[in-house]
Amino acid sequence: MFRDILVPLDGSRFAEAALPLASRLARLSKARLHLLLAHQPAPVLVGMGDMLPPPPELDEDRRQRERAYLIERTAALRHACGFPVGFREALGAPGPEICEEASRLDADLIVMATHGRGTFQRIWLGSVADYVVRHLSAPILLVPPGPPDQPAHYEDIQHILVALDLSKDSEAILDPVTVVARLTGAQITLLHIVEVLFAVGKLTTPAPVVSDSALLETSQSEAERQLEHIAERLRERGLRVSTRAITGVNAAGGLLDAMNEEGYDLVALTTHGRGGLRRLLLGSVADKVIRGSANPVLVLRPPASAPTG
């Protein structure tokens, strides 16, 4: 079960999209919920485009408003949910402050929105969420904020899709998935994408190899066998588990297609799998899934994978 769940906020409705799901998991696991807001002085534009630190009185006023916001959100959650809720203000860049607070608390789970203030002017790459995913080895549940006129609420998790590349690193996600499934009673589907190989030809027009269907069938059968072996271990723990091995041009595209076709409530995967130590998160399967998913994504960076920047 989870003991300490950390939710970073920035005062925006977009960041608060993480609260309903975090609150439900905290209530089900009887965990402590911790809110964190990292204050950064907002630079002031002066003259011909120069950016200067804000006047002390303006910065102090903003800090007071942020503190009042945290107190209000904490009190509302305590009243509505009836479990322990604490908060902390930090001074510094949000990414490092979130990682430091997670380490200080020894948090079992970080639940955060993929975007906060300035959502529709920023892409996910290079954001606070990206920094946290790169630098923490704790499970991180990323929640998309939804459109501005339709607040996002992701509380009901009935079916979890777990992407595995059949490496030991990719199986690291199974521990937090098991906890979530036990808390919510969700069904688990283990999925492996057998990637179609590309023929060697013109560099500008590679073509998938489609002639050797026997090789694809063998690879798919072996993947199904390995998935079923993993599924049996999970079933012995009392979980409901099914398996799927499908072919696709690439793992990210196949995973996103499967998510959209079947209507899963949550997708889970590690940020590194086979060859993980030689790959950056940017441009990886995990990154593409986080950016392309309309539902929450549970990610985990295996402890052996070094931060990538």
Q: How many CB atoms lie within 10 A of CB 115?
A: 24
Which residues have C-beta within 8 Å of that of residue 4, sequence separation ≥ 6? Answer: 31, 32, 34, 105, 106, 107, 108, 109
Q: Is 240 helix (H, G, I), strand (E, B) or coil?
A: coil
Give the domains, in start order, of the chain with CATH numbers: 4-143 (3.40.50.620), 159-297 (3.40.50.620)
| Dihedral over alpha carbons 220, 223, 225, 229 (to 10 degrees) | -160
Within 10 A of 100 (CB to CB), how many other CB atoms are there? 15
Instruction: Give which of 125, 112, 121 is closest to 282, Cα–Cα.
Output: 125
291: left (phi > 0), else alpha (psi -120 to 50), else beta?
A: alpha
- pLDDT tens for 112-156 read 998 755 433 344 444 888 899 989 999 999 998 876 556 556 778
What are the counts of helices (DSSP H) followed by strands (DSSP E) for the chain?
A: 8, 12
Task: Assess contact for 123 and 92: CB atoms under 8 A.
Answer: no
Helices (H), 39-127: 56-81, 94-105
Q: What is the DSSP string of 187-226?
A: EEEEEEEEEPPB-SS-TTS--B--S-HHHHHHHHHHHHHH
- The whole-number pLDDT of residue 274 equals 56
pLDDT at 300: 95
The low-confidence residues of the chain, meaning pLDDT below 50, are 118-126, 211, 275-283
pLDDT in tens, 2-21: 999 999 999 888 889 999 99
Q: Are 20 and 73 in contact (CB under 8 A)?
A: no
- How high is the pLDDT of residue 31? 95
Give the global pTM.
0.85
Gap between the terminal Cα atoms of the chain: 31
Q: How many residues would you count in the chain?
A: 309
Count the neighbouring beta carbons within 10 Å of the beta carbon of residue 181: 25
